[in-house]
Amino acid sequence: MTCCSHHRKKKVLNRRVINLSLGIYLLPALASAESIKLVIQEYPPFSYTDPKTTEIRGFLVDKVMEIMKRAGETPNITSTSLARGLNATMTEENTCLFGFRRTPERENAYRWVGPLTTDAWILYGRKDDTRLLKHVEDAKPYAIGSYRNAATGIQLTELGYHIVFAGEDEENPRLLINKRLDYWIVSQLHGMYIAEQQGFAKEITPAIKYKNIELNMLCNVHMNKQRIDLFNKINKNIDNDGTMDKILRKNGLK
């Protein structure tokens, strides 16, 4: 074998080794580049399907889509029930659901992005109800409406409150007005939105504030941690660079 042919063979071999090495290092990157599936529950004005256009809208949708845009993602977004959304996020890789409370029961089952926003939760009562609540604990003896799988309702049940779980939160304004409930525990924004849509807004009133609750995006536990870290970094940037204020104004919330 000549010297030149030996060098040519060595170069070809080296290129193959380099290409193989690159392939090994690129595999994780390619895997993490799979499209993200975003899932929402109908929770206006945070996230909802516009009945006229069937587009998924809401101020949290706008924020999450801005996070995805800045991260170079092209996600698919669909709407489903809370139970199905939680199950899909737990069992399907590259799936995320938003805006939800970060609870001890959920903590290790998902990866987290947030908080996306802070949500004030209150007890709504009837305007013709003369009872006054000085403290949230004063409501313990009364029937309080929540809905199936709602973290706040579950937590209050564990604390000894009399929580009545409806199939959907949309059932609760009617139950409250018809005196089948004494109070309704709900997000202040979401509760008033539902009441307005159903024509009950003038018949209910805030009885007492429960607490502020941070809402997050939860993702499948196997999602790439670098991806999650990037989403969290962008989320903070959106809060600090004025973009979130623009989103709230666009949605009539500021």
Give pLDDT tens digits for 136-185.
Answer: 999 999 999 999 988 899 999 999 999 999 999 999 999 999 999 999 99
| Mean pLDDT for the stretch of residues 25-39 | 63
pLDDT over 80 (residue 6): no
Q: State pLDDT tens for residues 147-156.
A: 998 889 999 9
What integer pLDDT is reported at residue 57 of this predicted model? 96
Q: Say if residues 67 and 238 touch (Cβ distance below 8 Å).
A: yes
Q: Residue 88: is it exposed, middle or buried by C-beta count within 10 angstroms (0-12/13-18/19+)?
A: middle
Residue 14: its pLDDT value, please?
Answer: 44
pLDDT at 106 over 80: yes
- The full length of the chain comes to 254
**33 pLDDT higher than 70:** no
pTM above 0.85, yes or no: no
Closest residue by Cα to residue 127 from 93, 81, 177: 177
Q: What is the pLDDT of residue 103?
A: 86
The answer to which of 10-24, 139-153, 223-237 has the lowest mean pLDDT is 10-24
